[in-house]
Amino acid sequence: MSTSLSVALRVPAAVAAAVLLSACSDRAANAPITTTTPAGQSTAPAPAAAERADHALVRFVHAVPGGGAMDLFADDNRAFDAVAYKATTPYHEVDGQYYTFRLRANGRTEGDPIASNTEGLDDGDFYTVFAVPGDRNTALLRVVEDDVSKPDDGKARVRIVHAARPLGEVDVFRTGSTDKVFGGVDFQSVTDYDEIDPWSGGLDIRADGADTPLATVNVQFDAGKVYTIVVVGAQKAAGGLEAFVIEDQMGAARPIATASAR
Measured CA angle at 167 (ends 176, 222), to 5 deg: 45
pLDDT average, residue stretch 146-167: 94
Helix (H) or strand (E) holding 20: helix 2-29
Residue 239, pLDDT score: 61
**Residue 31 in contact with residue 46, Cβ under 8 Å?**
yes
Share the mean pLDDT of the chain: 85
- CA 158 from centroid of its chain's CA atoms: 8
Q: Which pLDDT tens digit goes with each residue over 96-127?
A: 999 999 999 999 888 899 999 999 999 999 99
Contacts of residue 55, defined as CB under 8 A and 6 or more positions apart, other chains included, come to 45, 93, 94, 95, 96, 123, 124
pLDDT average, residue stretch 6-35: 52
Given strand 115-120, what is the order of strands in its sheet? Answer: 77-83, 70-74, 98-105, 115-120
- CA 175 from centroid of its chain's CA atoms: 22
SS3 of residue 221 by DSSP: strand
The confidence band for 150, taking pLDDT boundaries of 50, 70 and 90, is: very high
- CA 15 from centroid of its chain's CA atoms: 36
Q: Which pLDDT tens digit goes with each residue over 183-237?
A: 999 999 999 999 999 999 999 999 888 888 989 999 999 999 999 999 998 766 5
Residue 178, pLDDT score: 87
3-state helix, strand, coil split of the chain in percent (to 5) is: 15, 45, 40
Q: Distance (Å, rounded) from C-alpha 60 to C-alpha 91? A: 8
Residue 6, pLDDT score: 35
SS3 of residue 185 by DSSP: strand
DSSP state of 15: H
Residue 260, pLDDT score: 41
Task: Name all domains of the chain by residue range, CATH numbers in brackets.
Answer: 43-146 (2.60.40), 151-262 (2.60.40.1120)
Q: Which residues pair with 226 in a beta bridge?
A: 157, 248
The confidence band for 11, taking pLDDT boundaries of 50, 70 and 90, is: very low
Q: Which pLDDT tens digit goes with each residue over 248-258?
A: 998 765 544 43
Q: Does position 2 have pLDDT exceeding 50, yes or no?
A: no
CA-based Rg of the chain, rounded to a whole angstrom?
Answer: 21
Residue 238, pLDDT score: 54
140 or 236: whose pLDDT is higher?
140
Q: Which pLDDT tens digit goes with each residue over 45-78?
A: 999 999 999 999 999 999 998 878 999 999 999 9
Q: pTM of the full predicted structure?
A: 0.85
